[in-house]
Structure 1
């Protein structure tokens, strides 16, 4: 993976080696301005430049069945021009929809449980392939993430802020847990009886764009996978009660000292 090479060489040597292959020096330029919309998930209904609309929807944790894909293709033909896109946030978009036909498309997608206006938990959810299909993973992810979102929807129905929860089955970051509000990295931990169970390490407050940065590791916090819903619910309730004017979960986490973060992230199993 390129990330390991970059970690080994560093950016200066990497650039030098690239310039050797290119045969010329790369020019320096100003840093690009931070994106104000770095986390666009394209979920919802938006206007295109040509006056048509594009309609983005959220499968559950990025998982979509073959029958659903066939239905999406049919709906794209019926309500648009047959063009579909996938996004970097595990979402899908139907393009070129006339405004008068949007409602019909939204209803057709909803019939397949493909939500155009999902809960914040479903909209911000990502999960890697996990142990079901990946030889590197050490935890199950897709089913766990779907369960987690459903639990949070039931337990926190009034939560209406954007919140990105990424579930990763190993340290390799295919689901980018370091840039999530709440990143769960797969692990295996021993239980008191000596058996070993799937678990997660916790990273908080990551993001891209204007106030971006890697998530802060909640040091010493390890939760068993079956405790994930209880733990995330506890974090979000603490956030809502302690936010002290912070405009987002990420901003709140950035405002905490190391000691305050440790207190915020502490876990006492029920």
Structure 2
């Protein structure tokens, strides 16, 4: 029997039909799932794992590598291996605002307004909202937060003629969809989203607190309201290390 860094007594692993590194990977995963190690906590070193579970260094390296590949652990050069922040899953669900979506998943949503202004629509924005180039739109640019940590940068463009006074608002805007409903009687009813993998530039990296060039998702959303009017075009950049897309697929027989 060995005692680990968390003073938990464990039984050394035994060779059998299941490879040792699989056993160790599952043992570490179970301890994380049980809350023994939380996101941001450092896990035992290779030497400690070898002593704790009675395995070789190669076995410990394989187990940690597999968990890092799965996104359960994160390696930090020169510091060690840590429990990774859980990724926020996104799949085909009913249309929700960022605030509603994150809150229903048990996290605390937040945002910081980076820019709120009335601007002329460029070619792309005008095409998405079926406006003429140069027509006025409201730009709402926000840093989106989950549990106080930066998750993405979001630019929302809305037709100015549908939302008079929005560009001059001074109150905090936590949920844009709630504001559109309460203040303007506009209820977002359906949307189309497109996802594209990108790498972040210097500006986005600085806002998200990541390195330049790390992977991210660029997400475009075009939203219509209950009267089928185009009311919003949004471009978001979401951290690739905190976000994943999950799709439910069915065969032709279902």
Please report the TM-score for the alignment, with normalisation by the length of structure 2: 0.22
Q: Which has the larger radius of gyration?
A: 2
Q: Give the structure with the higher percent strand.
A: 2
Report the structure, 1 or 2, having the larger helix content: 1
